[in-house]
Amino acid sequence: MDISTDVLYDLLSQRYVLDRVGRGIGDKPVTLPIFYERGMSVERGQTYIAHTSDLPNKPLDGCLIICVGTKPPKVWNMWPGEVIYVANAHDDLMGVFNAVQRILRRLLDWGQRLQSLATTGGALPDMVEASIPIFENRITVTDYELRVLAYCEVTGEGAARHMEMSERYARVPAEKTPIINKFGSRSIRNREPYFTEEPGRGDNYCINLFLGDSYIGTCSLQEDLRPLRTSDLELFQTFAGFIRQALTVRSRTSHGQFMTLKVVFEQLLTCLPVSQSDMSHALDIARFNLGVESLDRHHWCCVVIQSANHGKNLPEGYLCETVENVLSDSYVIVFDDAIVAFCLLGPGKHRIDEICDPLDAYLKDMNFKAGISRTFADVFHARDFYLQAICALDAGFEADPTRSWYLFGDYALDYMLANCCGEFPSQMVIAPELVHLARASRAGGADHIETLRSFLDHDCNASRTAKAMFLHRSTLVQRLEKIREYVDLDDPDRRLYLRMCLHLPDIERALAEADIDEFA
């Protein structure tokens, strides 16, 4: 944790009369002090404690000097560094050294404690409790729906008043924090720290927390026991940064306070509603964790893994963790006695080897089987693609039980021959290449979909197709050449699959709404 000279100056001034000269040391953090003796070499960015009489005539460059005794010479006023002059220390060099040491050590220990809690997704009440001695005022942390996650408050009377943690893991009633309810909803768009005023209780210093464009909560510091200091404002920004980090880490599991992608997938699989707001928050958190600006060009696929040896009972947590290690950028849950992984595929990475190469060895080692859906972009359709993966697993295992994994695209024709659309909407079972062809057709102005339907209906006879469509043969040939850029007309099974898709009753709507793609 970095401590600025402004923070040190403010806290040290609670005990001593201070003055400061020099141009400052910029953004360099204050380090633990060492004693300076005349003639010793100095390092840039270091903090020194010195008696004024020991300072050289020429200012020392780029460091902080805390001096005791008489006021430094005027030449130090324009020095490219900083001097904090302790005016009333009465030559107590050791006392000043110990005071500075205590201030810095206390803040560094506090920062290390918060860092440890934040990086492990520690409990927010622990972070608030660790911060009570620093701020000595009421601290409140709320989530994006203005629900209180952790807070401390004043207890006792008169001289015995002190700050104490609330019930550690209880939901705090909203009426205990009226300032949040009254002003919070008006201010959640503020990206800079701001003040609100609570009648009879002084200023409330607030910092909103964001992940990308999503507001995820607010930290507030209320001056209950003492007025806010300059150092409080800077240190509270540090505190808010650690809270934001902790919320981000906790959001990677389903046990956090926010609607995470794991929770989203669990609710969608069980047919529970997910709001657009919750989905946006979950995707923003995922984007932040991945360090990417946008997920617009990313796709997902669903992998359902079941044990081929039901006598092998392993803990669910272990299975989820190992699959997440095997499949990068995956969100793994246990659902209906199967391991279900939703894998995020980056732009240009819709290749089957991105999933199956790392998965294959794991499946063989564990004697597991996996069904894999097509790729998709809209997370709201997660359940449909989960069902795709189930269908791939069932049909694939029946056709070839020796394999470890099965793609839905390889068994889509078998499924349609047995069930037509079955439990899926039409846009889930149509061939992805038809979707791409329909887009190219709309862009080019020619109806390639109708041309392909007629060509397949006439047993791929160009003359009969041209006559039926009132087209010149050369025009038909040109269209077929364009169609072949998207679809395979040489494989008879694929032709049958395409023809079945093209005769679905709502094919036009399905082509317009389809959110699918095939692995390369």
Closest CA to 46 of 34, 58, 55: 34
Closest CA to 331 of 322, 323, 341: 341
What is the rounded average pLDDT of the residues 375-399?
A: 92
Q: Is the pLDDT at 408 greater than 50, yes or no?
A: yes
What is the rounded average pLDDT of the residues 90-110?
A: 94
pLDDT of residue 172: 43
pLDDT of residue 371: 96
Strands 162-165 and 194-198: unpaired
Asked if 162 and 154 touch (Cβ cutoff 8 Å), the reply is yes
Q: Which of the given ranges, 17-21, 104-108, 163-167, has the highest pLDDT on average? A: 104-108
Helix, strand, or coil (residue 341) = strand
Q: Above pLDDT 70, what percent of the chain?
A: 89
Backbone angle region of 351, left / alpha / beta, with phi > 0 → left and psi within -120 to 50 → alpha = beta
Q: Is the pLDDT at 75 greater than 90, yes or no?
A: no
The span from the CA of 105 to the CA of 496, in Å, is 75
Q: Which residue has the higher pLDDT, 364 or 165?
A: 364
Tokens representing residue 37 in the block: 């003796």
pLDDT tens-digit series, residues 283-333: 888 888 788 888 888 899 999 998 755 445 667 778 888 899 999 889 999
Closest CA to 86 of 49, 34, 38: 49
Asked if 152 and 158 touch (Cβ cutoff 8 Å), the reply is no
Q: How does residue 256 score in pLDDT terms, banded at 50, 70 and 90? A: very low
Q: Which residue has the higher pLDDT, 258 or 39?
A: 39
Length of the chain: 520
Tokens representing residue 482 in the block: 């364009």
Closest CA to 141 of 162, 168, 101, 119: 168
- Read off the DSSP letter of residue 106: H
